[in-house]
Amino acid sequence: MGYKLELICAIEAILWGTWLLVPWDTFSASKTFRFMNTIAPEWVWGLTVCLLGVCQLCGLLVKSYKTRRLAAVLSIFTWTLVSIAVIAGNYQSTATIIYPVFVVMSILIYSETTLWKKLEGKL
């Protein structure tokens, strides 16, 4: 499950980040994301999450447990922050349910990469 889940999360992060880097004002289109704009501008969120996805993808491509675990920890932090910001912005939005799922997936990825590293005797 690990590689597939990590690949999905990496692609999703790259797409989500890229979406925020396009020239239209995504955050002002919905009150759900307005609070995120008070934390950082849209391009900062976009660039950060896009780079996070690239880091995840690189960790998979070079088969680096260290990079994959680091990316998982950063993903947990990032998606937790996004989840809190979305809930603060509009707790009634369906985004309130969706973004915490990325946190859970990131925790699963971290747990799985740690377990496999222990089983291979690399930890």
122 confidence band (pLDDT: 50, 70, 90): low
Q: Tens digit of pLDDT for each residue in 80-104?
A: 999 999 999 999 999 999 999 999 9
For residues 26-50, give the mean pLDDT. 92
pLDDT at 3: 82
Tokens of 94: 């369906």
Return mean pLDDT, the chain.
91
DSSP per residue, the chain:
-HHHHHHHHHHHHHHHHHHHHSSS-SGGG-HHHHHHHHHS-HHHHHHHHHHHHHHHHHHHHTT-HHHHHHHHHHHHHHHHHHHHHHHHHHTTSTHHHHHHHHHHHHHHHHHHHHHHHHHTT--
Name the least confident of 12-16, 21-25, 79-83, 115-119: 115-119
Q: Cα 38 vs. chain centroid, distance in angstroms?
A: 19
CA dist 84 and 53 (Å) reads 20
Q: Is the pLDDT of residue 73 over 70?
A: yes
Give the residue with greater pLDDT, 63 vs 2.
63
Q: What is the domain partition of the chain in residue ranges?
A: 2-119
Look at residue 30 and tell me whether its pLDDT is greater than 70. yes
**Residue 106 near residue 72, CB atoms below 8 Å:** yes
pLDDT at 43 over 90: yes
Neighbouring C-beta atoms of residue 28, cutoff 10 Å: 11
- The model carries a pTM of 0.88
Q: What pLDDT, on the 0 to 100 scale, is given for residue 25?
A: 87
